[in-house]
Amino acid sequence: MRSRASFEQEAIPHLEALLRTAVRLSGNRARAEDAVQETYLRAWRSFRTYRPETNCRAWLFKILLNVLKKAAGKQRRDPLAEAEDVEVSGKLIPLFPEAEGGNRQDLLAAVNRLAPEFREVLWLVVVEGFAYREAAQILDIPMGTVMSRLYRARRELRRFLTVPAFAGKERSSGHGM
């Protein structure tokens, strides 16, 4: 059986990545903290079966994604509808901020307008730096699906960044996990 000290050494360093991912994918800080706590609780409970060769970071992210999806299912409503930090304005969001005065919040707002299956794969690969194979394992989908979702996610993101943001509010689906 592996010790708590070992768990802390291997799992806790990934806390910040898990928290920022949870915040972005859930759209709500409080739910994100709960999800991360639940993730660590589940991880700790199954840590006795953990093997040293396991990719701990990917393992924790897989648990987190499952926790977030389960929580979103229970809410039965769009989790982004009450997002604390997700703002979608009606102005044009520039593609290149250095040239057009955009900012980080605009970009993240555009990310949050993506359908959840696009947002999560984009986040895992581009922001968190997971390889396609790892993202496929975390999301439990084929690698080909990762590739196609990324292509569509990038295409959608560019569209959001170059058209009036309020158009995205007309989307009836796609938010939440």
Partner 1 sequence: MECREIRKLLSPFVDNELGAHDAFTVAEHLEACVPCQREMQHLRRLDQRLKAAGLASVEGVDEVRTDILTMLSPWVWVRRWRGVGVAVAALLFLVVGRQLFSAPADPEATAFGEALIAEVQLSTTQPFSLPWLDPHSLQDVLHQEGLVDLPNLAPAGFHLEGARICYPLSHPFVQLVYRNRSEEISLFVSRRWSRPLAGVSKREGFTIVPLGMRAVFLVSREPLDNFADVHQLAEEEVSALSA
Binding site for partner 1 (CB under 8 A): 4, 7-8, 12, 15-16, 19-20, 23-24, 31, 33-38, 40-41, 44-46, 70-71, 74, 95-97, 104, 107-108, 111, 122-123, 125-128, 131-132, 147, 150-151, 154, 157-158, 161
Tell me how far, at minimum, the Cβ of 175 lies from partner 1, in Å.
Answer: 18
C-beta of 172: minimal distance to partner 1 in Å? 24
- Closer to partner 1 by CB, 134 or 175: give it: 134
Nearer to partner 1 (CB atom), residue 62 or residue 153: 153
Beta bridge partners of 164: 92
- Least CB distance to partner 1 at residue 146 (A): 9
Q: Compare residues 87 and 172 and give the one whose CB is closer to partner 1.
A: 87
CB closer to partner 1, 108 vs 174: 108
| Residues 88 and 112: beta-carbon distance below 8 Å | yes
DSSP per position, 111-160: HHTS-HHHHHHHIIIIIS---HHHHHHHHTS-HHHHHHHHHHHHHHHHHH
**82: enclosing H helix or E strand:** none
Residue 64: φ, ψ to 5°: -60, -45
- For residues 91 and 166, what is the distance between their CA atoms, to the nearest angstrom? 8
CB 79 within 8 A of CB 31: yes
Q: What's the min distance (Å) between Cβ of 86 and partner 1?
A: 13
Cβ nearer to partner 1, comparing 119 with 175:
119
Q: Closest separation between CB of residue 107 and partner 1, Å?
A: 5
List CB contacts of 132: < 8 A, sequence separation 6 or more: 125, 143, 146, 147, 150
